[in-house]
Amino acid sequence: MAEGNLSFLRQSLLDAPIIWKEGYPYFVHPITDGVPRLPAEVLSEIIDEVQTRADWSNIDLLLGIEAMGLPLTAPLSMATNLPFAVIRKRPYGMEGEIQIEQQTGYSKASLFINDVYPGEKIAIFDDVISTGGTLFAIIDGLLKADVIVSDVLTVVEKGNGMKMLQEKYPQIRFQSLLQVEMIDGQVHIVN
């Protein structure tokens, strides 16, 4: 749930263009879609807020999910002085590579995680949780590899995926900066 003001992020979500796909309205935002352009003050505000959300001294590694998790995880890595790795959509065949199958309400694909080790404490930082399908697969894959998933942070929460994740993994701390809903073709900030 939101703690800080996040006025730049809030306004950017309210101002986001709306497109219609298959009869449903979708907002297009630089954090979730990479377009339109991302104002620096929005990204700075997000990183400043996320820094207050975890005990970073107890985290070994940040994980970002390709593609939109990358512009978020890189500046968080710099701010927390923690290394980060990228969950990729293609294999590299490196020793210890973890392959997972993810399915969301939108797609089905393989994801590949490299350079994570049993016993490491990790935090995942991503752009949006909606159905939770991607994170279900990632968390299950990491837990099977004996990696400790400490925190999952997301900028935008929409839909019921976050609640389902919290119920399935009560040992993990899940947080979003803002929860949004589409109502009558408009973005509404719930919190």
21-39: pLDDT as tens digits: 988 899 999 999 999 999 9
For residue 151, name the pLDDT band (cuts at 50, 70, 90): very high
Each domain of the chain, given as residue ranges in start order, spans 7-189
Give the per-residue pLDDT at 40.
97
> For the whole model, what pTM was predicted?
0.93
The percentage of the chain sitting over the pLDDT mark of 90, rounded to a whole number, equals 89
Q: pLDDT tens digits, residue range 169-189?
A: 999 999 999 999 999 999 999
Query: What fold does the segment set 7-189 form as a domain?
Result: Rossmann fold (3.40.50)
pLDDT score, position 102:
82
Q: Where does the pLDDT of residue 106 fall: very low under 50, low under 70, confident under 90, or very high at 90 and above?
A: low
Which residues are CB-contacts of 78 (< 8 A; sequence separation ≥ 6)? none
Question: For the chain, what is the radius of gyration of the CA atoms?
Answer: 16
pLDDT at residue 1, as a whole number: 41
Residue 22's pLDDT is 87
Identify the residue with better confidence: 157 or 3.
Answer: 157
What DSSP assignment string belongs to 12-77?
HHHT--EEEETTEEEE--HHHHS-S---HHHHHHHHHHHTTSS-GGG-SEEEEETTTTHHHHHHHH
